[in-house]
């Protein structure tokens, strides 16, 4: 996919990077990324992937914007309260970058259609906040052979990794089985520092761009743990 003059102007700072250049930007334009969840993690990931020029962004989301979301879900504004997140996200991303195609996937991702959906994309950015969806995304990605760019947040701590069964460990290598229901509280129950999903979601966007461009060392086989209170990152090695 060649770049138009307006696209060359928009992505000039990317094109100046020898590691990206016009060829890399064309790869991003041709890329397809599925975002599972458009909440705290999905918001910054979606914004930066759209700004970077990823040509097709699928967004799987079922919820509506609640005022309590606005403390951390930067994809939305006060006027979006009560609107479906898919509708508000598509409008914001179109305003940010009209050349990006947003493909809505309404409703929850389920076992009946997860694999079929995932196979349509080059990679998945998992911004879900429940264990059932995380395991479903992991398993679908493993079967489809595509990377699962993982992120999670809890109070003041965040995690990020790339689960790619073809090249390294997957989520089940870290946690073979889901915890019992109710054992681990979600953000609505335990709270979360508003900026934390921004840090982790942006890390997920960076990992996605590295994978699409074939740059650097993605977090395959590594769990990156961020402690916001200590301003500390730890890298934990994972085995397949």
Instruction: List the structure tokens of 214.
Output: 């074939």
Secondary-structure percent of the chain, ordered helix, strand, coil, rounded to 5: 40, 20, 40
Q: Give per-residue pLDDT as tens, 8-54.
A: 999 999 999 999 999 999 999 999 999 999 999 999 999 999 999 99
In tens, the pLDDT along 182-208 reads 777 777 788 999 999 999 999 999 999
> Residue 86 has what pLDDT?
98
Q: Locate 139 and state its tokens.
A: 């398993």
Measured CA to CA in angstroms, residue 114 lies from 91, 117, 194 at distances of 25, 5, 29
């Amino acid at each position: 996919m060649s770049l138009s003059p307006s696209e060359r102007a928009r992505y000039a700072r990317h094109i100046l990077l020898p590691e990206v250049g016009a060829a890399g930007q064309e790869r991003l334009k041709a890329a397809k990324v599925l975002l599972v969840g458009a909440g705290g993690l999905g918001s910054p990931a979606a914004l930066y992937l759209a700004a970077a020029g990823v040509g097709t962004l699928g967004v799987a989301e079922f919820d509506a914007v609640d005022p309590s979301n606005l403390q951390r879900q930067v994809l939305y504004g006060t006027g979006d309260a009560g609107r479906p997140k898919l509708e508000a996200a598509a409008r914001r991303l179109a305003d940010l970058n009209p050349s990006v195609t947003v493909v809505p996937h309404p409703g929850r991702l389920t076992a009946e259609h997860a694999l079929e959906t995932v196979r349509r994309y080059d990679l998945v950015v998992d911004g879900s906040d429940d264990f059932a969806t995380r395991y479903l995304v992991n398993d679908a990605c493993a079967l489809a052979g595509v990377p699962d760019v993982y992120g999670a947040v809890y109070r003041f701590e965040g995690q990020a990794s790339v689960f790619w069964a073809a090249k390294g460990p997957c989520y089940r290598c870290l946690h073979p089985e889901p915890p019992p229901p109710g054992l681990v509280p979600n953000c609505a129950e335990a709270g979360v520092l508003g900026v934390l999903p921004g840090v982790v979601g942006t890390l997920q966007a960076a990992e996605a761009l590295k994978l699409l461009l074939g740059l650097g060392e993605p977090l395959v086989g590594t769990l990156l743990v961020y402690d916001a209170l200590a301003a500390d990152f730890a890298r934990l090695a994972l085995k397949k």
